[in-house]
Amino acid sequence: MRQALRGLTTRGRAFVAAGITASLCALLLGQKDLLRVGILLVALPVVAALVVGRTRLRLQVRRNLTPAQVPVGAQATVELALSNQGRMPAGLLLLEDRIPYVLGHRPRFVVDRVSPNWRRTVSYPVKSDVRGLFQVGPLMLTVADPFGLVETSRTFTRSQQLLVTPRVCRLPEIRLGADRAGSGENRPRAIASAGEEDATVREYRDGDDLRRVHWRSTARRGELMVRREEQPWQSRCSMFLDARTTSHHGHGPSSSLEWAVSAAASIGTDRIRRGYATTLLGGPTTLTAINHRTSAAVHQPLTPQQLLTECATVEEHKYAEISPLLTVDRHTQEPSLVIAIVGALSSDDITALNRWRTSQAIGVAVVLDAASWAVGAETTEKAARLTAAADATENELRRNGWRVARVRRGDHLPTVWSALGLRSGRIA
């Protein structure tokens, strides 16, 4: 009852105020008819509160989100199956499902009367032009009397998550020169110039079993060496996505960051489909994430689903340098292909990229000319400065042996990817 009285609407409070005023005036003026009117005005909200307070709904809600993962701009459907498991009927119900504003307006449904064993299914569409992981629900139920004098709200606890992934383009097959390892047990292993024996040993690390020490190589090299564990060779691809605020321009779906995220998702999906063990650093792997995850976990090869999930949740960050984000796990097999999707870089950033890329790996860089995404308010001088920085980044990476593609606003990723192929038979 107390909860119902606290749920008095503006109309209900107006009735109570008018009833009390009329009753006081009737007592002062000695008007019995006016007193009856005042008592009636006060009694109506109280009776409505009693009715609403005694409503014992056992409403069950089953939520079905189909599909639970959609690309940007695609539509999903939320279906709510409602049923009353109680024996008490109820009057007017207002159902409101809580969703983020990017998915559309909050859906509201009005139910006139709920009888025992009542069942109903309602549905509504959701669509987002922005990638991300969004919570759909919970459902809020409002019980009201027929006169709209009293309302009480109850919120269900269950909700679901909708994953909106970036657009993924199908890329043409090209020769990057890193396909030599392939995948599977029948692929050849790398043989060092000194013989197969050198290719099967490595430096001693803390925790290695001393029974695996290879004494002949230890004596020859002057440092403790151990035999490598036998593992099937598989091509590895390490990707870096530069998600720093200083590297991008524009806002919303048309920004340079969204182009870069879509490129990372497309290239990563293509590499995984071609048998590469693929990892992604930069955008989803911030310093906080690195501190809370082990190095092996950060460098664990991704499945296509994990890759899309990480790309969907990339956010801009304000780190000044990229070197802390380029963590290297020496316990994993070195990649045969490294791909960097970056904006304009400083000399320290380029040094960090060169250190991240091993001597045996093919380096591919997609350099975004952020000035082409600059909004109209940007000055010509600033745009020229950004373009000059992108030019310097492209030239410096080329001098360090990277294969570079320059990207401007409006460029299509499949075309950019084709330009990265070898000159001899660019499309495989």
Structure confidence at residue 75 (pLDDT): 94
d(C-alpha 423, C-alpha 410), whole Å = 24
d(C-alpha 12, C-alpha 44), whole Å = 8
d(C-alpha 19, C-alpha 42), whole Å = 5
d(C-alpha 80, C-alpha 59), whole Å = 12
Instruction: Please check whether residue 116 is in contact with residue 93, taking contact to mean a CB–CB distance below 8 angstroms.
Output: no
Instruction: Please check whether residue 397 is in contact with residue 153, taking contact to mean a CB–CB distance below 8 angstroms.
Output: no
Identify the three-state secondary structure at position 86.
coil
Query: Which residues are registered as beta bridge partners of 225?
Result: 203
Structure confidence at residue 94 (pLDDT): 83
Instruction: Please check whether residue 254 is in contact with residue 209, taking contact to mean a CB–CB distance below 8 angstroms.
Output: no
Q: Which residue has the tokens 């997609």?
A: 366
Distances (CA, A) of 307 to 264, 280, 355: 9, 8, 24
Q: Tell me how far the alpha carbon of residue 253 is from its chain's centroid.
A: 14
Q: Could you give the strand order of the β-sheet that contains 337-342, starting from the edge strand earlier in sequence?
A: 277-281, 236-241, 337-342, 362-368, 403-407
- Beta carbons within 8 Å of 87's beta carbon, 6+ residues apart: 116
d(C-alpha 270, C-alpha 70), whole Å = 18
Using 70 as the pLDDT threshold, list the residues of the chain that sit under it: 1-5, 53-57, 86-91, 177-200, 206-207, 228-234, 283-299, 327-333, 375-382, 422-428
Structure confidence at residue 192 (pLDDT): 39
Structure confidence at residue 188 (pLDDT): 41
Distances (CA, A) of 262 to 28, 131, 194: 76, 10, 43
Token pair for residue 210? 């001393």
Q: Which residues of 16-38 are buried (b: 16+ CB within 10 A; e: fewer)?
A: beebeebbeebeeeeeeebbeeb
**Percent helix, strand and coil across the chain, each rounded to 5?**
35, 25, 40
Instruction: Please check whether residue 151 is in contact with residue 7, taking contact to mean a CB–CB distance below 8 angstroms.
Output: yes
d(C-alpha 413, C-alpha 428), whole Å = 17
Which helix (H) or strand (E) covers residue 199, if one does?
helix 196-199
Which helix (H) or strand (E) covers residue 265, if one does?
helix 256-273
Instruction: Please check whether residue 353 is in contact with residue 280, taking contact to mean a CB–CB distance below 8 angstroms.
Output: no
Say which amino acid occupies 101. Answer: Y
Stated pTM of the model: 0.74
Q: Which residue has the tokens 């409070």?
A: 13
Tens digit of each residue's pLDDT (9 = 90 or more) over 273-295:
998 999 898 865 544 454 444 44
Nearest-Å Rg of the Cα atoms of the chain is 32
Tens digit of each residue's pLDDT (9 = 90 or more) over 62-90:
999 999 999 999 999 999 998 887 666 66
Structure confidence at residue 377 (pLDDT): 47
Decide the pairing of beta strands 337-342 and 236-241.
parallel
Number of Cβ atoms within 10 Å of the Cβ of 302: 22
